[in-house]
Amino acid sequence: MSIDINNLGSGVTPRTGDSKRVDGNETNAADARQATGKSSVNDTVSLSETAIRLGQLGVAVDNQPVVDTKRVEQVKQAIMDGSYSVDPARIAEKMMELDMALKPKP
């Protein structure tokens, strides 16, 4: 059994996700688009303010360096001159905060 995946033999084009077939008027519109290179329908897209802001934030995050080299150099220098101190209580507190943040909410 052969399948015509391009629908070249049927003369109609099925819509994706739709069980209906395209009628003759839409087929004629497709022929006109192909002949002129222009669509007879103008599609528009509008984005919400939130979507626009998220896009801007995404660009800003992408432009940030992955590593704060200034901070890395400060820590290296503090380790080398012996002034770097470790606060075990603060480390434990931050670990607990992270653990609580990662636990799923019931």
Confidence (pLDDT) at 33: 62
Region 100-105: mean pLDDT is 89
The structural domains of the chain, with segments of one domain joined by +, span 1-40, 49-102
Angle at 104 between CA 101 and CA 106, to 5 degrees: 125
CA dist., res. 81 & res. 77, Å (int): 6
Residue 87 — pLDDT band, cuts 50, 70, 90?
very high
pLDDT, tens digit (0-9, with 9 covering 90-100), for 37-79: 666 678 888 889 999 999 999 999 999 888 999 999 999 999 9
Nearest to 88 by CA among 96, 80, 78: 96
Q: What is the pTM of this model?
A: 0.35
